[in-house]
Structure 1
Amino acid sequence: MDPLRPPPHPQFQFRNWLELPRDVTASILLRLGAIEILTSAQKVCLLWRNLCKDPYMWRKIDMRNHGDLRDMPYDLETMCRHAVDRSRGQLVDINIEYFGTDKLLHYIAESSSQVRRLRLVRCYKISIKGFSEVAAKLPLLEDLAISYCPLSEELLEAVGRCCPLLKSLKFNNLGYRSPPIECDDEAIAIAENMTELRHLQLFGNTLTNDGLKAILDGCHHLESLDLRQCFSVTLTGNLKRRCAERIKDLRSPCDSTDDYEFNAELHDMESFYDD
């Protein structure tokens, strides 16, 4: 270096990422989703490729995507199976959005019975029968999130029977301005089969006050309850008081949806029948 030239300003000094400790690099890569790792990160250099093959990197598999599978340049189901293989049975947390199928769920359950958290969004190719069979192979499941999937109380009953450790359930649907039906079947299935729940989200559900009472009677450990856009529930009088006394974190039917992770736009009754 020229002794007469001043040292470069810190903002022009570049870090050699390959000099980072292995555990720090792994921590950075873990912040990427499975799709980004498989399509980009593992191709950067040999070090990153080796790290991306470590089973520890695949204890959590996040296959989050934008939902338009027609524009995908790759097969998400095949990619997910590859990610599951890399976990070598250590998988505990998986998110499959839009592309989940019965066959894929079976593959996940057969490859790892250690799964504790499962998230499904708009997986229209998953059936009640298929999911029920898979639930029997996931006895350690603690956290289940199902949003906008064509599944009903039969699934909830099966999950309740097969997954006794379940502590958190999200079972979300579209919200309607004027609910076309009032139905407590799902609420009763939860109350009778998921008595160890601590956290429950039923966004857009058609349960009534009777269904809510059943949940309060059956789920004695419940700490948080999200009833936003459940417009057949009326929280008044004794029921309101009971919820206030029992539930630490209560979201009422008309509470703000600003922090809801999906589109919370209300739908008309006609769209219910179209769906």
Structure 2
Amino acid sequence: MEGDGFDARKWEDLDLDVLVTIFQKFNILELTSGIGHVCKSWRYAVCDPLLWKTLDFSMLTSNFIKIPLEPYVYVDRRSDKQLTKLLKIALNLSCGNATSLIFHVNLYVNDDQLAYAAERCPKLKRLVMPAWNRIKETGICKAISMWKDLESLTMPSIADPSCFMEEISKHCKKFSELKIMGVCDIEFVQSLVQYVPNLKVLSLRCSILYKDALLLVLNGLMNLEVLNISHSLIVEGPPPPAPIKVVEELDESILEKGSRLREFLTCMNDSCIMCQRMKMDEGLMRWYRYEKGLWKEDEVSSLAI
């Protein structure tokens, strides 16, 4: 109002730095909702590289049902279209500046979506993608070959990791951090020892971990500095369906080898709620039963979300 002593300002008149600071509080759904169409200054602000270093899709899940045959999930077509649309908008706005790409544990990306992301994230350093059900070996290997700067990966356990790890060895010379969510057996660790011997950080928290695989991690990954096996179900014996034995306490040889690391993080405590949940879920954590976002946690800060 005139004469009241106030100088009315419009949103579009805000300094660009102020707008960017405000937009940094928005999640990716809000940033891609069309706010860039409000005015020219908002468009400039929403395209600022600071907003697109991390593309965090962890609030988005697929609408899916489990099925008995591969890929073991069926994703609703509308859900797929929503993710594709969101990926296109976010990746176009990011202009190739994204260095971190994060997907929900129940977001089932397909080959086409992954290929689109790989082509438009050439500077990617961190990938968090715990569900690979709908991704073929050729799809993930092609994506990895495009990410020369990849340093950190969160992934599920897979049946034959050797081809994938070989691609990391060939193309990702800075690769140093790995988190596996699922089952860690001797075959998986053998591929790590063979193809990524310079691995510095490994998290196997809340996983089924075979004792012989743990021993190979400690003996074979000579450059390892940090190992997290907190709340894991450590077992020994042949793979299922043969009976397995749950290890209730780490023996002295494992503790001694672990003590050589900069950090050896363990928790096998019956009073720990996460350890209780792992036993109740028989080693395959059913994240949907528990607190929202619990799957994002990790005792290793660089691997937490």
TM-score (norm 1): 0.74
Q: Report the counterpart of residue 11 of structure 1 in structure 2.
A: none
Aligned to 1:166: 175
CA distance in 1, matches of 2:188, 2:123: 27
SS at match of 2:31: helix
TM superposition shift of 1:34 = 1.6
Q: Are the aligned partners of 2:206 and 2:283 in contact in 1 as well (CA < 8 Å)?
A: no
- 1:165–1:196 Cα contact (<8 Å) kept: no
Give the match's secondary structure for 1:118. Answer: strand
Structure 1, unaligned runs of 5 or more: 2-6, 8-13, 175-181
Deviation at 1:253, TM superposition (A): 4.7
Match of residue 57, structure 1, among 37, 45, 51:
51
- C-alpha displacement at 1:189, in angstroms? 1.5
How large is the Cα RMSD of the aligned pairs? 3.7
Conservation of the 8 A alpha-carbon contact between 2:128 and 2:153: yes
**Against the structure 1 CA distance between its residues 203 and 109, is the aligned structure 2 distance closer, same or farther, given a 3 Å change threshold?**
same
Which of 131, 135, 143 is 2:140 aligned to? Answer: 131
1:1-275 equivalence runs, <5 A? 21-39=15-33, 41-42=35-36, 46-69=40-63, 75-97=82-104, 98-147=107-156, 152-154=160-162, 155-173=164-182, 183-227=185-229, 228-232=231-235, 235-254=250-269, 256=272, 266-268=280-282
Deviation at 1:171, TM superposition (A): 1.0
- SS of 1:246's partner is coil
Tell me if the contact between 1:124 and 1:150 (Cα under 8 Å) persists in the aligned partners: no
For residues 230 and 44 of structure 1, do their structure 2 counterparts lie closer, same or farther at Cα, with a shift above 3 Å needed?
A: farther
Structure 1 letter corresponding to 2:251: T
Deviation, structure 1 residue 66: 4.4
User: For structure 1, which segment, 20-29 or 238-247, has the greater mean C-alpha deviation from structure 2 after superposition?
Assistant: 20-29
| CA–CA distance in structure 1, aligned partners of residues 159 and 100 of structure 2 | 21
Q: How many residues align?
A: 252
Q: Which moved more, 1:135-144 or 1:160-169?
A: 160-169
1:54 Cα deviation from its structure 2 partner: 3.1
Compared CA separation, residues 185 and 266, structure 1 to 2 (3 A): farther
Give the direction of change, closer, same or farther, for the CA distance of 1:271–1:48 in structure 2 (3 Å limit): closer
Distance in 1 (CA, whole Å) between partners of 2:119 and 2:95 is 11
The more displaced of 135-144 and 157-166 is 157-166
Question: Within 2, Cα distance between the matches of 1:257 and 1:132?
Answer: 37
Give the drift of 1:52.
1.1
* Structure-2 change in CA distance of 1:207 and 1:270 (3 Å): closer
> Cα deviation per residue 1:115-135 (whole Å; 9 max; x = unaligned)?
111111334212223111211
Q: 2:256 corresponds to which letter in structure 1? A: R
Note closer, same or farther for the CA distance 1:265–1:127 as it changes in structure 2 (3 Å cut): farther
- Please tell me the residue identity of whatever aligns with 2:95: R
**Counterpart position of 2:300:** none
Query: CA-to-partner distance for each residue in 1:226-266, whole Å, 9 max, x for gaps?
Result: 2132321652112111102324241245584659xxx8674
Deviation readout 1:184-228 (Å, 9 max, x if unpaired): 111221222222222211134444332122222332332322213
Measure the CA separation in 2 of the matches of 1:123 and 1:35: 23
The Cα of 1:268 is off from its aligned counterpart by: 4.2
Relative to structure 1, the CA distance from residue 183 to residue 62 in structure 2 (aligned partners, 3 Å threshold; closer, same or farther) is: closer
Structure 1 equivalent of residue 70 of structure 2: none
Q: Does the C-alpha gap of structure 1 residues 271 and 143 become closer, same or farther in structure 2, counting only changes over 3 Å?
A: closer
Per-residue deviation, 1:138: 1.1
Unaligned ranges ≥5, structure 2? 64-75, 236-246, 287-305
What secondary structure does 1:32 align onto?
Answer: coil
| Aligned partner of residue 39 in structure 1, secondary structure | coil
